[in-house]
Amino acid sequence: MWHDPSSAAARQVRAWRAEGRLAEAKLLRALADQPTAEWIGDQPRQKAHRVTESARASGRTPVLVGYHIPYRDCGNHSAGGAPDGAAYRRWARDLAAGIGDREALVILEPDAVAQVVDGCVPAELRGERLDLLRHAVVTLSGLPGTRVYLDAGNAGWVPDPARLVPSLQRAGIAYADGFALNVSNFHTTRASVDYGHRLSRHLDDAHFVIDTSRNGRGPAEDDGLGDTWCNPPGRAIGQPPTTRTGRPRVDAYLWIKRPGESDGTCRGGPPAGQWWPSYALELVRNVGG
């Protein structure tokens, strides 16, 4: 898989080396040298073309995250997205055009289906959201070198995976290569595999991928300071990305969330998606602890 040599982690390593902070720079190489996903919201055609072209030149496959659904994140830390359904359909077509015939693995719309199931999406928008997801799945899966995994939440969100099935089906899971779990979350690989197998049985043994970027210590306990998924302390990076999972239905362990990027303005963090070097360093230091 492809990794970005100009990622925030890589730039931080170079900056710390220049400042003489060699021990910290060495630690952060654990992030900078790993393939992580590229999140694509605005300017999908340009961004997808740049990443997939760079990846093809290096003989690697990039992981892309399509993240632009209307009413994204139910208006929370990662609010935004397309202003309406027509704009989203154009966005999906532009993303596909940017990828073209180059290889890509696309994680489609983290949280979007689970938010329909848990009720945070207003009732009048739920059907449209699922139909928009279906349009994006069909559009992207028609590309010759693209694999598509529709996000299905995480092991701690919708305890009974059967509740996700009708929404995933309407959202076009049958046209995708499978589903994705644990994106930007902290549930252990074992818990995610178990949950994925339970969901897979309802979906004709669909395959799935798991985000292991920050699950080295599993989820945090409630400290009373906010949501446990938002910049929790004491977490660690998880298993490095690989397609060699040893499990027939688990296609890959991936770093979909970019370790070191904030979940939002909680626990002293910057806005969602911004690089936070002290948190990145903590994730590395806590490995094996």
List residues forming the annotated binding site for substrate.
39, 157, 185, 229, 257, 261
Q: How many CB atoms lie within 10 A of CB 246?
A: 6
Please report, for residues 38, 56, 82, 282, the alpha-carbon distance to residue 73 in angstroms, rounded to integers and kept in the order given: 18, 32, 12, 26
| CA diameter of the chain | 56
Binding-site residue positions: 39, 157, 185, 229, 257, 261
Residue 267 is encoded by which pair of tokens?
């626990």
Q: Which residues are annotated as catalytic?
A: 73, 111, 263
Please report, for residues 58, 70, 94, 109, 126, the alpha-carbon distance to residue 102 in angstroms, rounded to integers and kept in the order given: 12, 27, 14, 21, 32
Residue 103 is encoded by which pair of tokens?
């290889």
φ/ψ region of 173 (left if φ > 0, alpha if ψ in -120 to 50, else beta) reads alpha
